[in-house]
Amino acid sequence: MTPYLRSELAKEAQLNMETLRFYEKKGLIPLPQRSAGGYRLYPEETLLRIAFIRNAKSCGFTLQEIKKALVKSADRSIGISDFIAVIERKITAVDLEIARRNETRSQLEALKFGLLSHDRHPGVQDTLAMLNMND
């Protein structure tokens, strides 16, 4: 396959060129070879790498985590069991975040209920008075 110029790769990968530069700078995609005229020439594999980055980001992985996986895969120091362990840790983190968000939601519901109640708690009354929100 013919290598891609930066603009062609950006279009094919549905990214802007600044994102490609950023990924290069961060080491997420390898620096491309240059043509005799100085144009960057990206191989087809770069599209696969960008697809991996996009998918990993959509699963909640950070660019730092993605780079670590790419580096370890390049030197063959990560296996499927290692990758599954990373995924399981990410699932645990997501579950904890969901629990935190549910607790926050419960607190907001309680606050709303307290504000709408005809028999407001004295602390709620004091807060409303301080905020000049007495009805």
Return d(Cα 132, Cα 4) in angstroms, integer.
63
- Beta carbons within 8 Å of 126's beta carbon, 6+ residues apart: none
pTM passes above 0.85: no
Per-residue pLDDT at 135: 62
First-to-final CA distance of the chain: 72
Return d(Cα 27, Cα 31) in angstroms, integer.
8
**Segment 19-34, tens digit of pLDDT:** 999 999 999 999 999 9
**Segment 54-96, tens digit of pLDDT:** 999 999 999 999 999 999 888 888 889 998 999 999 999 999 9
Torsion sign across C-alpha atoms 57, 85, 70, 62: positive
